[in-house]
Chain A
Amino acid sequence: CTKFLEEEPASFLTTDQYYKTEEQIHAAANGTYDGLNMPFASEITLAASPVYALEYITGYSRRPRPTGGDDDQFLLLQNIQNSNGRFETWWNATYIPIENCNSFIANVSQTSVVNEETKNRFLGEVYFLRAYYYFRAVRLFGSIPLKTEPTLNLDNIQIGKSPIEEIYNQIVSDLQFAENAGLPWTDKSGRVNLAAVKSLLAEVYITMAGYPLQKGANYYQMAYDKSMEVINAGEYSLFASYADLRDPAKNNSGEHILMNQRDQKNATSIIHFHFMPYPEPSKPVSVIPNMGGSMAPTTAFYDSYAADDLRKQEKQFFFKVSNTPFIYKFWDDEAEQTSRSGANFPLMRYADVLLLGAEAKTMVDGGTTQDAAALDAYYSVHKRAFPSSKRPSSISTDDVLKERYWELCFELHTWFDMIRTRKAFDVENDRIVSLIGFKAPNHNRAFEEKDLLWLIPLAEIQANPNLK
């Protein structure tokens, strides 16, 4: 009767049936992109999502709609605990997709189902994504387990932490594989492309140069060189207007190097409706006004923009309701027609790469630079905000950092900039200051050393005491 009791599932595949065709490999590669969207798709409640924690912690944003404990810990920098569910979401959004990558790499590296060229291209995408997930996590959590082989059974599953440097080395090596995997410079469909690989490598180098590894000038130089490779390739350019950033027709091209891919019908985005003003104005600004209030700039941050900064003008990066600024940067016109937002969320922009290159060069040159390429990079971003401004003859690191705050705000970059530079933007006094000791506008207290790393979630420590 053993035959009678055998299970033969019909609606899903099991692992021993897989990696037999090119189509299966393709589908599995697509599956490894899942981690880009995971934080946006997990634990969504009314106007709340774990993604905003990454901005709440900077202290430059506020949450118009009242909330409970977990978000308040970041919003107020108060009493942060490892039981906070936001940590768990970001942790899971790291290791679940990494397992998909590990499994893909282990299986496809050995396959002969596809030719070497195709195989390398798929592997390149997946190596890039594994590096992306580890890079995100190592910056958030510091020393974490490094796992590059798939889990096959329940033996030895409680692995310990690896040194931060070891994780960076893995990231660099994965990215270097991707760099040589034959990926195209651009990909309109939104897949990983060579520019994304090199841009990420530039960001990895500049982060390694700064905190916590402090590898210094060499790495700043490498970061500068990598960004220059992207810039000099000429495949990407800044959009002429900020509105283009929101134009779905311009997705995955122009200024957008890598985006989180969404679609209006079935893969909707939470961002547009979550950023609606709250309390709901008596005259609604949106077809769905009651989902808003998740995040808005603090007045202090909004006021830090110069009056003539184009980004500050109404309906560029912000809009005002009852004299209170709200975020307009991700406004989705189509969503207002269809009640569903299918807008992509930018993960890597060309403006980011330009500023990264410029910043790296200032660091190489001791705090200010007159390097023409660096000046061009900085100036192209600055000029879009201030069309009548003149090209400066030199720029300082602080100039570039401030520009990053203004240009990249609420795109989930700011916190990473703050911890790798250990600097903050004192918006009230218009100056870059040391992060430790700085009290951000929305926080109850100043940053301390312990705030710089997120806590390994309690649930994970309970399941793996080695992570205590």
Chain B
Amino acid sequence: QGITLVARQALLSDIFASIEKQSDYTFFYNDQLLDKISKVDVNIKDARVDDALKTILQHLSLDYQIKGQTIFITEKKQVSTDHLQQFRVQGKVLDEEGKPLPGASVKLRGSAKGTVTNAEGAFTIEASSGDVLLVSYIGYTEKELVLTDSSQLTITLATASNSLDQIVVVGYGTSRKANLSTAVGSVKGEELLERPTAQNLLQGMAGKIAGVNISLNSGKPGGNPAIKIRGTGSINGSNTPLYVIDGIVGADPTTIDPAIIQSVDVLKDASSAAIYGSRGANGVVVITTKNGDPNTAQIAFDNTLSFGSLPRELDLLDANESLEMFKRQYEYVPGRLAPHLDPDNAFKRKDDLFNSDGTPKYQVNWQREATRVAVSHQHALTFSGGKDNIKVLANISYRNNQGIMLNSYYKQLNGFLNLDWDVKSWLNIKANINAGGYQSNNIDNNTLGLNPLRETLEYLPFLPVQYADGTYSRKGDYPGAENSENPVKLLNEVKNVTGRSQSLGNLMATFHLTDKLDFNTSVSGQLSSGYTHYYGGRTVYDVGENQQGVAQRAHTDFGSWTTENYFSYNQSWDKHHLNAVAGASWYYYVTSTDQAGAEGFFDDYFQDNNLGTGTTPQIPSSGKTENQLNSYFARANYNFDDRYLLGASFRVDGSSRFGKHNKYGFFPSFSAAWRISQESFFKDMNTGINDLKLRASYGIVGNAEIGDYVTLNRYNNGQAVFNNNYESAVTLAGLGNPDLRWEKAKQLNVGLDLSLFQGRLLLTADAYNKRNDDLLYLRKLPVTTGYTNVFDNIGSIENKGIELGVNAVTMKKGDFTWSTGYNFSLNRSKVIDINNDVIYPWFGRIIAGGPLNEFFGYERLGVWGTGEAEEAAQYGKKPGDIKYQDTNGNGAKDADDRVNLGNAMPKWEMNMTNTFSYKGFSLFVDLQGAYGNHVISLARVLMVNPGPNINSFKSILDAWTPEHQNTMLGQLRVNSDGFDNEGGDSFNVEDASFLRIRNVGFSYQFNKDWLQKIKLNSLVFGVNVENAALFTGYSGYDPEVTSFDAALNQGVDVYQYPKPRTISFSLKTSF
């Protein structure tokens, strides 16, 4: 449908109004300009807007320009002869959806000149070349640009965080937050940069969205945080959300530079996630990268230099105290002497270590020896701009992060290019390329073994790093101790470098088929290649020594392609607005792995770089897996008068992973919202409420993350030994379940969005009930079948919760602004059914009727006293032994005595950011709190028990003696004297509630007028302290911790890499 105009002697303004009616375009012009024009005749039938305008204006002194949905009418440029300093700037201010923003303030910096946009968002202002135009609007981020000529400007303002006008990316489209009927949490790009030492997107997101629990479980450089959206729903399936970067489904979020991210939207409820049906069961994180601005060519250069250090040392025994502990251990048997006190025990290093009276010669603080001040720096260089119909952004970023443990590091180099091109009026092309790589030295491998983190705590303080003769000490140099390698030597001589290089490309075309109908098609591909290079040296105890050096190399190559194709349709009539999307996608993923290794090296020189040098090759291994997905989807959103909002989506997903009959799953969802504040009765009530919306949604999403090929009957192909020779051996590996189908997460969400005080206070509240049914569950089989388990759809898990998010301009007085962001979330999980199985994760138990992440074990009551000898004997114990609660009262300590010992997930958690700004100064404080969570530290289990043959915490000297009986710690003794060490008992499960000052930042933005003189656009200097302070009763380094998977084993601290406190200095400039 084109433009049809038949008129005689019509006013131009009427003609334009008529075109506006027939199209989505609005005109923008200066009335005076039209006054000069006489009336015109037109006769146009079914023409394109472009053609219509050409015809109308061809003989007039007017020109036109189409930008987005706006047509600018200007004077025809004459060959300019004047060199007037002053010129007239015309422009239009739009929001991110391209809608005009009336009432926006437009000023020239350093001048009193200013104006306000009219109802169409348009403005005119007199300016001269070099002036800086400032455009601002409440709820939006201020924008500035340098004026060079009088060309027409289209200025798009981005919304400030959490404004109701914010544009939210909802998957295959966008929506204004005010018109959302589902639960979506959003973070703006600049918020991700509030903490400059955040090493990736997820770290930057931590604490920003209610209900999105991001645990920074490790302090290692590049350490990968664990994300949990609305609790854990699956036991054997994956619990990580789906990531979508610029429409690329399943992209890796950790490698992209947070500096180029425009926004992150988290689709939390089933209704919003259902459009990604198949993989949305754990929520969807939609990431949108920045685009160039066609009005300004800009170069931004951001730099951060930071210094990290160990924020607190654990209270370990010093040399004298450690020896006191050993002395007491040996004296458990009267007359038995500790090795350093026993004149008959002339062990090898005795004279090197001890004076003749048994006092130590060395005092070593291993936490100090094994750590350092970590110096890190990161840089990002971003070019952005555009011309006419092209917008471009190019970014290169480099980060070199040292860890606080010696020799640990993470380095990353990444390049990114984003292109947005209106090739034709009917065709838009978007292209992304992201390529780069990282490398890190993981000193914390061998989690359960004798790794350097563990040795840093367990190593004895009376042993030197190196003896006078240059040799490193070993723990076994003291005969009362378990032998192990020195942590400093482990850090220096074990190499475990992992890395990856990856590239990701996406090309998306949008065809504007009609004014209302678009067709989008995209093809994206990802390639990545990961590697591990390992070498344990020839003299490193327990790592390489026994094999005379161990070298390994492993590679994992991933490849994938996706194509997404969909129509989107927009229709408005009267007060009705309809938006619909329908399409299909195909996805293919392949992984291949290989590994080789060798042992027996004559020299440490080669490390893993010449496996052929090793005399004993290890058996090499390799593998390959593939999987495919095919989906069809549709969604419709209907909006009546901005008052009643309805949405529905349907998706059908097919996965190669399921059995023949159940490859496809169906995932519907529905949502509705009522914007009460738009009702006239409400407006009449004068409540002071600007916006109030009630929402409800229900939907079903799926989970297929179970690994490939589990529905097939599988053989395991290995080797059998016959008289030291190897022969192929094949055994049954798994029973396929051809009936396996999708796990389904059904979720009901109700919420409200509230805006008060002209948008100064925004509140979002949600309550949800999410139930995962047909769990992809490793059902236990009777082993008489020959198999221990099989994947089956069994069981249910429920997560209920409440989320609250508040954004407020707490105070605004003159140049002073104090703004606050607060979020609170509460989640309760409950296992409804797991086939009557009982699962024992680390120190925990999962059982129907109980919550997930529950610790489970014996209740420690204290220590049997000298007066209780008789009662203790019943249990085979004697005074000085640990006393446990006999829960079932059967007179014996048995498995039935175990009880629940607390949950690893907090009862509630909250985050709060406060920003105070005054002129160029701003102060930023980020608080994080969790209440009611518990942690078990393996360091405490192994080091604070009656008989550690390693170093311990100072608290161990509180152990039982006949003179000091009121204690939780059994009488000290040497390891082989025997004692109960139950690990996960009530003494070792600690309350880990905490409050953390996660970040304190101070920044100064230099005066722009002054900067202009040195041709700089902006210059910001900042100082930040990350992990500034931690208040907790937990005895380990940090209560926000797990060493295993966060889904089922949160709060299990196995010598986790401590989180540093980092002071950073950042300098951001653009010109």
With contacts A12-B717, A13-B730, A263-B726 taken as known, whether A92 is within 8 angstroms of B546 at the C-beta atoms is no
Task: Verify if A278 is at the interface (C-beta below 8 Å from B).
Answer: yes
Q: Which residues of B contact A6 (CB under 8 A)?
A: 656
Task: Verify if A434 is at the interface (C-beta below 8 Å from B).
Answer: no
List the count of A-B residue pairs having beta carbons below 8 Å apart.
223
With contacts A263-B721, A287-B546 taken as known, whether A28 is within 8 angstroms of B730 at the C-beta atoms is yes
Chain A nearest CB from B707 CB (Å) reads 11
With contacts A151-B735, A189-B723 taken as known, whether A158 is within 8 angstroms of B623 at the C-beta atoms is no
Task: Verify if A123 is at the interface (C-beta below 8 Å from B).
Answer: no
With contacts A30-B727, A69-B895 taken as known, whether A96 is within 8 angstroms of B783 at the C-beta atoms is yes
Task: Verify if A459 is at the interface (C-beta below 8 Å from B).
Answer: yes
Task: Verify if A252 is at the interface (C-beta below 8 Å from B).
Answer: yes
Q: Which residues of A contact B790 (CB under 8 A)?
A: 154
Chain A nearest CB from B713 CB (Å) reads 4
- B786 near A151: Cβ-Cβ < 8 Å: yes
Task: Give the interface of B toward A (CB within 8 A).
Answer: 339, 345, 347, 476, 479, 482-483, 542, 545-547, 586, 616, 618-619, 622-628, 630, 654-657, 663, 708-709, 711-733, 735-737, 780-788, 790, 792, 836-838, 876, 892-895, 947, 974-979, 981-982
Q: Which residues of B contact A13 (CB under 8 A)?
A: 714-715, 717, 730
Q: Which residues of A contact B785 (CB under 8 A)?
A: 95, 99, 151, 157
Max count, chain B CB within 10 A of own CB: residue among A65, A68, A282, A459? A282
Can you show 19 pairs from A to B with CB atoms below 8 A apart?
A: A11-B622, A12-B716, A16-B713, A26-B727, A26-B728, A27-B729, A30-B729, A32-B731, A65-B975, A96-B732, A159-B784, A188-B723, A261-B721, A261-B723, A282-B347, A282-B479, A290-B483, A293-B976, A459-B780
Partner of B729 from A16, A33, A76, A460 at Cβ < 8 Å: A33
Complexed CA–CA distance, A265 and B894 (Å): 41
Residue in A closest to B977 when the chains form the complex, CB atoms: A66
- B655 near A100: Cβ-Cβ < 8 Å: no
Task: Verify if A288 is at the interface (C-beta below 8 Å from B).
Answer: yes
Q: Which residues of A contact B542 (CB under 8 A)?
A: 290
Partner of B724 from A14, A147, A263 at Cβ < 8 Å: A263
Complexed CA–CA distance, A278 and B976 (Å): 8
Known: A9-B709, A265-B618. 11 other contacts (CB 8 A): A2-B663, A5-B663, A23-B728, A34-B731, A68-B981, A99-B786, A157-B784, A290-B476, A290-B542, A462-B780, A462-B836
Q: Tell me which residues from 411 to 462 in chain A have a Cβ below 8 Å from any Cβ of chain B.
A: 444, 459-460, 462
Complexed CA–CA distance, A342 and B616 (Å): 14
Task: Verify if A64 is at the interface (C-beta below 8 Å from B).
Answer: yes
- A289 near B787: Cβ-Cβ < 8 Å: no
Q: Which residues of B contact A467 (CB under 8 A)?
A: 782
Task: Verify if A323 is at the interface (C-beta below 8 Å from B).
Answer: no
Complexed CA–CA distance, A23 and B735 (Å): 23
With contacts A31-B720, A65-B976, A76-B876 taken as known, whether A92 is within 8 angstroms of B783 at the C-beta atoms is yes
Chain A nearest CB from B379 CB (Å) reads 42
Encode contact with B along A328-368: 1 for CB under 8 Å, 0 otherwise. Answer: 00000000000110100000000000000000000000000
With contacts A34-B720, A76-B876 taken as known, whether A95 is within 8 angstroms of B630 at the C-beta atoms is no
Complexed CA–CA distance, A99 and B737 (Å): 17
Complexed CA–CA distance, A11 and B68 (Å): 53
With contacts A76-B876, A289-B483, A463-B780 taken as known, whether A279 is within 8 angstroms of B975 at the C-beta atoms is yes
Q: Which residues of B contact A15 (CB under 8 A)?
A: 713-715
- A99 near B787: Cβ-Cβ < 8 Å: yes
Task: Verify if A233 is at the interface (C-beta below 8 Å from B).
Answer: no
Residue in A closest to B782 when the chains form the complex, CB atoms: A464
Complexed CA–CA distance, A251 and B893 (Å): 45
State the interface size on chain A (CB cutoff 8 A): 86
- B717 near A100: Cβ-Cβ < 8 Å: no
Partner of B655 from A5, A64, A158, A339 at Cβ < 8 Å: A5
Encode contact with B along A81-105: 1 for CB under 8 Å, 0 otherwise. Answer: 1010000000110011011101100
Chain B nearest CB from A65 CB (Å) reads 7
- A95 near B729: Cβ-Cβ < 8 Å: no
With contacts A189-B722, A463-B780 taken as known, whether A11 is within 8 angstroms of B623 at the C-beta atoms is yes
Q: Which residues of A contact B626 (CB under 8 A)?
A: 7-8, 10
Q: Which residues of A contact B476 (CB under 8 A)?
A: 280, 290
Task: Verify if A182 is at the interface (C-beta below 8 Å from B).
Answer: no
Q: Tell me which residues from 236 to 251 in chain A have a Cβ below 8 Å from any Cβ of chain B.
A: 248, 251
With contacts A79-B892, A81-B895, A92-B788 taken as known, whether A30 is within 8 angstroms of B730 at the C-beta atoms is yes
Task: Verify if A212 is at the interface (C-beta below 8 Å from B).
Answer: no
- B781 near A100: Cβ-Cβ < 8 Å: no
Q: Which residues of B contact A32 (CB under 8 A)?
A: 731
The 3 closest A-B pairs by CB, nearest first: A99-B786, A339-B546, A464-B782
Q: Which residues of B contact A384 (CB under 8 A)?
A: none
Max count, chain A CB within 10 A of own CB: residue among B625, B728, B786, B895? B786
Partner of B625 from A11, A100, A464 at Cβ < 8 Å: A11
Complexed CA–CA distance, A264 and B721 (Å): 10
- A66 near B975: Cβ-Cβ < 8 Å: yes
Task: Verify if A191 is at the interface (C-beta below 8 Å from B).
Answer: yes
Q: Which residues of A contact B838 (CB under 8 A)?
A: 462
Task: Verify if A267 is at the interface (C-beta below 8 Å from B).
Answer: yes
Task: Verify if A78 is at the interface (C-beta below 8 Å from B).
Answer: yes
Complexed CA–CA distance, A12 and B715 (Å): 6
Max count, chain B CB within 10 A of own CB: residue among A6, A12, A34, A189? A12
Chain A nearest CB from B757 CB (Å) reads 54
- A78 near B720: Cβ-Cβ < 8 Å: no
Task: Verify if A145 is at the interface (C-beta below 8 Å from B).
Answer: yes
Q: Which residues of B contact A68 (CB under 8 A)?
A: 981-982
- A342 near B724: Cβ-Cβ < 8 Å: yes
Task: Verify if A1 is at the interface (C-beta below 8 Å from B).
Answer: yes
Q: Which residues of A contact B894 (CB under 8 A)?
A: 79, 81
Task: Verify if A389 is at the interface (C-beta below 8 Å from B).
Answer: no
Complexed CA–CA distance, A23 and B717 (Å): 13
Chain B nearest CB from A331 CB (Å) reads 17
Task: Verify if A394 is at the interface (C-beta below 8 Å from B).
Answer: no
Q: Which residues of A contact B876 (CB under 8 A)?
A: 76, 78, 444
Q: Tell me which residues from 288 to 317 in chain A have a Cβ below 8 Å from any Cβ of chain B.
A: 288-290, 293
Task: Verify if A216 is at the interface (C-beta below 8 Å from B).
Answer: no
- B345 near A252: Cβ-Cβ < 8 Å: no
Chain A nearest CB from B896 CB (Å) reads 8
Task: Verify if A150 is at the interface (C-beta below 8 Å from B).
Answer: yes
Q: Which residues of A contact B781 (CB under 8 A)?
A: 154, 157, 463
Max count, chain A CB within 10 A of own CB: residue among B781, B893, B947? B781
Partner of B786 from A5, A100, A463 at Cβ < 8 Å: A100
Complexed CA–CA distance, A147 and B584 (Å): 49
Residue in A closest to B663 when the chains form the complex, CB atoms: A5
Chain A nearest CB from B838 CB (Å) reads 7
Task: Verify if A262 is at the interface (C-beta below 8 Å from B).
Answer: yes
- A339 near B547: Cβ-Cβ < 8 Å: yes
Q: Which residues of B contact A24 (CB under 8 A)?
A: 730
Task: Verify if A254 is at the interface (C-beta below 8 Å from B).
Answer: no
Max count, chain A CB within 10 A of own CB: residue among B656, B729, B737? B729
Complexed CA–CA distance, A191 and B727 (Å): 12
Q: Tell me which residues from 265 to 280 in chain A have a Cβ below 8 Å from any Cβ of chain B.
A: 265-267, 278-280
Residue in A closest to B664 when the chains form the complex, CB atoms: A5
Complexed CA–CA distance, A154 and B713 (Å): 12
- B731 near A154: Cβ-Cβ < 8 Å: no
Q: Which residues of B contact A92 (CB under 8 A)?
A: 783, 788
- B728 near A30: Cβ-Cβ < 8 Å: yes
Q: Which residues of B contact A154 (CB under 8 A)?
A: 735, 737, 781, 790, 792
Q: Which residues of A contact B624 (CB under 8 A)?
A: 10-11
Partner of A190 from B722, B735, B784 at Cβ < 8 Å: B722
Q: Which residues of B contact A99 (CB under 8 A)?
A: 732, 785-787
- A18 near B783: Cβ-Cβ < 8 Å: no
- B974 near A279: Cβ-Cβ < 8 Å: yes
Complexed CA–CA distance, A99 and B781 (Å): 13
Chain B nearest CB from A118 CB (Å) reads 16
Q: Which residues of B contact A459 (CB under 8 A)?
A: 780
- A147 near B784: Cβ-Cβ < 8 Å: yes
